Amino acid sequence: PPGLAAIVAAYRDAGLPAIVRLPTLIDPPTRALDDAGFAAAEGASTTLALVPGAMPAPPAMRATRIAIDPAPTPAWRAARRRLSLVAGAGAEDHLEPLAWLRAPAWFASAAVDGATRAVAFAALTDGIAIIEAVATDPDWRGRGLAGACVAALVDRATVAGAVRIALQVARDNAAALALYRRLGFTCQLYDYSYRRRG
């Protein structure tokens, strides 16, 4: 409870809602969260890992030309903002934390006919690369664009020294889970959910 009170105060002072992430690796402090006014768990997701070199991306995905930049370009940010809204999430909630990144990062985008149709990014720290923000324009899903972005980020992170690569995905997103398994993300590390103080 004292730690939880400090978390709530820190986020309150920053003008942000307190949200805690609860991995299945721990016994969740359910009663303390209930007493502190946190809502029921939401956003059930899982974390998957790949050992670099364990499984190459399918050749069809490698044929797609992917741009990799060390920072989010205006086109990447615009596409992420648009695709976040398509997914029903707050676009700025996904973009604002990018300014806080201090680790090496790469931003992948797949463009078709001059328009960015899929994006993703990866950040590397302590030999672990985390892939985030994988999204594809709904009209362009199923064409290998997201897979090509992820494969390009795996390549870049591996060259930069990543010994482990992981990503998170909603547990009910069957299409994304199938894609990541094809790309070699077959090691399930843990599940997690969030509780928001409301």
Q: Give the chain's domains with CATH numbers.
A: 2-45 (no CATH), 47-190 (3.40.630.30)
Give residue-wise pLDDT tens across range 53-79: 665 555 455 557 899 999 999 999 888
**pLDDT band (50, 70, 90) for residue 9:** very high
Residue 88 — pLDDT band, cuts 50, 70, 90? low
CA 45 to CA 63: how far, in whole Å? 30
Q: What is the pLDDT of residue 89?
A: 52
Rounded mean pLDDT, 163-185 = 92
